[in-house]
Amino acid sequence: MSKDTDVGYRIREMIPEDNSAVAALIRSNLKNHGLDIPGTVYFDPCIDNLYEYYLNGINRGYYVLVDKDDNVLGGIGFDEFSPFQDCAELQKLYLADSVKGNGLGYRLISYIEDRMTEAGYKASYLETHSNLQAAIHIYEKSGYSLIERPKEVAHGAMTNFYYKRFEIL
């Protein structure tokens, strides 16, 4: 599935050749915010093979934002979050510095929420860190509400937890 944006970028499903670009994008974003520490996705064993991780699951996926030359400039994924009923976890939303501030984070969130509802989810959960103020701003403007830390948190260094119930028409 691919979607063109009105600013010359498109969103498409991740392919195996995207693994290294996505891993580098995630690690550079985390490092730039002082989050290249244990307890973050920076050290997840699957980070270098995200395509395979998302391929091998049911009702999960990862998508990349690419330019006209198919260079990866961002990404976002989702997977089931079983502690909450009918809930997916919004995962690994990252953008290259060169495209930040253009509203593309909102577009990726909207896109992934559509994929979540298509997969049958009725809500979304996410975890982030207080160092990522731009991301927190985007999540809150996208309708996510701050919740208490769930006991099932996978990344121990995360400090902020959000939830959004979808309006299903």
Strand order in the sheet with 10-13: 2-4, 10-13, 61-66, 72-80, 87-95, 123-128, 160-165, 145-147
Both tokens of 27, joined, read 């690690």
Task: Give the whole-angstrom CA distance, residue 70 versus residue 115.
Answer: 21
Q: Residue 7 — very low, low, confident or very high, per pLDDT cuts 50/70/90?
A: low
Q: Which residues of 59-72 are buried (b: 16+ CB within 10 A; e: fewer)?
A: ebbbbbbbeeeeeb
Task: Give the whole-angstrom CA distance, residue 46 versus residue 61.
Answer: 14
115-147 per-position pLDDT tens digit: 999 999 999 999 999 999 999 999 999 999 999
Q: What is the mean pLDDT of the chain?
A: 92
Q: What is the pLDDT of residue 75?
A: 97
Task: Give the whole-angstrom CA distance, residue 147 versus residue 65.
Answer: 29
Give how far Cα 112 sits from Cα of 99, 150, 156, Å.
18, 22, 24
pTM over 0.85: yes
- 150 DSSP 8-state letter: P
Q: Average pLDDT of 54-83?
A: 94
